[in-house]
Amino acid sequence: QVQLAESGGGSVQAGGSLRLSCAASGHLYHSFCMGWFRQASGKEREGVAVIYTDTGTTYFADSVKGRFTVSRDNAKKTLFLQMNNLKPEDTAMYYCAADFISALVCRGRAPADFRNWGQGTQVTVSS
């Protein structure tokens, strides 16, 4: 069982930055995939950025490449999402997720492949 808790959301103006954190606890004892997903009002949940812990390889949605970075602190079992140059279209509820899946599946950033989810943190970007 894995527990995840996000923090760091808020409201910013376009062009601003936010840093999200996801504290993980539970049985994280070998290679797993961890990442950030978002769901805007009326839209499906989408994978924003994931990291495969064994290699540190990251994968991003095209819409956030060059603006978002994902990193982790293994000792503290914490995942971060640094979001720069935020746009109004980034407005959504952001969720942290984790699961023991292969690197190939991780790369796909498909929400259906993840069983462990946090409660989410709201990000609102105004123009």
| Average confidence (pLDDT) over 3-25 | 97
**For residue 18, what are its two tokens?**
């936010």
User: What is the predicted pLDDT for the residue at 29?
Assistant: 65
pLDDT at 53: 87
Q: From residue 121, how far is each of 19, 54, 68, 71, 88 by CA, in Å?
A: 11, 26, 16, 18, 16
Average pLDDT, integer, range 13-26: 96
Instruction: Give tens-digit pLDDT for 82-114.
Output: 999 999 999 999 999 999 999 999 999 999 999
For residue 45, the surrounding DSSP H or E stretch is: none
State which H helix or E strand residue 108 sits in: helix 103-108
Give 90's contacts (C-beta < 8 A, 6+ positions apart): 38, 64, 83, 123, 125
Give the tens place of pLDDT for each residue, 42-96.
Answer: 999 999 999 998 889 999 999 999 999 999 987 778 999 999 999 999 999 999 9
AA identity, residue 83: M
